[in-house]
A and B are shown apart, each in its own frame.
Chain A
Amino acid sequence: MSAWKRLFWGIGLWAFSNGFASDVLDLSRMNSTILFAKLYEISQSAEEYKGKTFRMKGYYELAKDEIDGKKYHVLLLSDAAACCNFSFEMEWDAHEKIPKKGSQVTVEGIFNPIFEEHMIIPQLKKTRIVP
């Protein structure tokens, strides 16, 4: 491999890595296997990721709480076998147009874990749709 190629790869890798190390944690580029593992890691250390901006790609659903009838905007992400789902509750940004139910969307929002009894509810605040 020539010196120029090595330099190019090195810069490319550094830039790519810094893309992941920046304030926006881009999970939209990950495949379902790595995404699920990363989400599991986030769920195990939710406090460390609080306040970070996440970019994710998943399916939008409107879920209804059976007890109080409250509706929640949810982003569903599945693992490779589609048997395990991660869901994020979303609070849309003020002027954001809500997508169609069941549609695949890429969103960006601020991670805000809600700690309730023995579980963590992952929430995205100020969520907006990104291209």
Chain B
Amino acid sequence: MPDLLETFLNYLQYGFVQRAFVVGILISLCASLLGVMLVFRRFSYLGDSLSHVAFGAMAIAAALNFTDDLLVMLPVTILCAVFLLRSGNGTLVKGDASIAMMSVGSLAMGYLLMNLFSKKANLSGDVCSTLFGSTSILTLSSFDTVLCASLSVAVILFFVLFYNSIFAIIFDETFAKASGVKVERFNLVMAIVTAAVIVFAMRLVGSLLVSALIIFPTVSAMRLFKSFWGVTLCAVVLSVFCTAIGIVVAILVGTPVGSTIVAVNILIFALTSIFRRVK
């Protein structure tokens, strides 16, 4: 045990480990708030779909030789989020079908584009790393950290300032509209927030595992609390805890970071489920 502690303290001296913790905790915080909004609105799988869209957008950025793929990923993902989150009126393909189509379509097209246009030597390695986030969180720059911190502040402020409106829209959109809440505007902002959080969350757990970061904390929290406020707060605490523990275990034991974080989330979900049964 003392050896592990010494090793951990030594690793903590590295800048990339410090940045990983800061960004990981901030992203998990935002993802948990997002998760509360999406899970209650029955859009749990939206995270997966948008992360696949972001993967496809990243492939386009690579094909077009963009230095910073965020310039393509963010706008494309935001547009898709707006499309998917708008109300079902007038859409040709509804609900889960449109999410599924966009999800698999983006993933397939993204991988195809990368195979056709990528100039990198280790393509499969890059794809694997992007999909599963084995060490992406440990390769962040100071700029990435600042960007993530800014996003997190924006998401938290949005949630805190508009808590009542978000609550009303989540549980009864029609009533919220009748009460004077500008539902379309909120849906648009939520779509932008969703897209931004998911694009950044891909750096933490990879494209395929983003849904876990969004769904598990909320569902675990729902096992413990009944009120919306209680679930929200608990989801934030659980998400941050699981991410921190996941990163610690991954860097000490040498496992992929993304999968380890998800594994910790699964464990916590199992424990909260047992606790609920016993209670």
Residues of B within 8 A of A83 (CB): 124-125, 128-129, 132, 134
Residues of B within 8 A of A79 (CB): 129, 134-135, 256
Interface check A81, CB cutoff 8 A: yes
Task: A79-B129, A79-B135, A83-B129 are known; give 17 further A-B pairs, CB within 8 A.
Answer: A9-B2, A13-B10, A16-B6, A17-B13, A32-B254, A34-B14, A34-B17, A34-B138, A34-B251, A37-B14, A37-B138, A40-B139, A41-B16, A80-B254, A83-B124, A84-B134, A85-B122
Task: Determine if A36 and B138 form an interchain contact, defined as CB atoms under 8 angstroms apart.
Answer: yes
Interface residues of A in 40-58 (CB under 8 A from B): 40-41
Residues of A within 8 A of B14 (CB): 34, 37-38, 41
CB of A75, distance to nearest CB on chain B (Å): 16
CB of B174, distance to nearest CB on chain A (Å): 46
22 A-B residue pairs with Cβ-Cβ distance under 8 Å, sorted by A, are A16-B10, A31-B254, A32-B254, A33-B250, A33-B251, A33-B256, A34-B11, A34-B138, A34-B251, A36-B138, A37-B20, A37-B135, A38-B16, A41-B16, A41-B139, A79-B129, A79-B256, A80-B134, A81-B134, A81-B256, A81-B259, A84-B129
Residue of B nearest to A84 (CB): B125
Interface check B164, CB cutoff 8 A: no
Interface check A12, CB cutoff 8 A: yes
Task: Determine if B10 and A81 form an interchain contact, defined as CB atoms under 8 angstroms apart.
Answer: no
Interface check B252, CB cutoff 8 A: yes
Main DSSP-derived SS at the A contact region: helix
Give the bracket for the number of chain B residues in contact with chain A.
20 to 34
CB of B137, distance to nearest CB on chain A (Å): 9
Interface check A20, CB cutoff 8 A: yes
Task: Determine if A33 and B124 form an interchain contact, defined as CB atoms under 8 angstroms apart.
Answer: no
Main DSSP-derived SS at the B contact region: helix
**Please, how many angstroms separate the alpha-carbon atoms of A81 and B256 in the complex?**
6
**Please, how many angstroms separate the alpha-carbon atoms of A31 and B4 in the complex?**
12
**Please, how many angstroms separate the alpha-carbon atoms of A36 and B122 in the complex?**
14
Residue from the set A9, A12, A41, A83 with the largest chain B CB neighbour count within 10 Å = A83
* A residues whose Cβ falls under 8 Å from a Cβ of B: 9, 12-13, 16-17, 20, 31-34, 36-38, 40-41, 79-81, 83-85
Residue of B nearest to A36 (CB): B135
Interface check B93, CB cutoff 8 A: no
Residues of A within 8 A of B15 (CB): 41
**Please, how many angstroms separate the alpha-carbon atoms of A124 and B273 in the complex?**
53
Residues of A within 8 A of B252 (CB): 31
Q: If A17-B10, A37-B138 touch, does A81 touch B251 (CB 8 Å cutoff)?
A: no
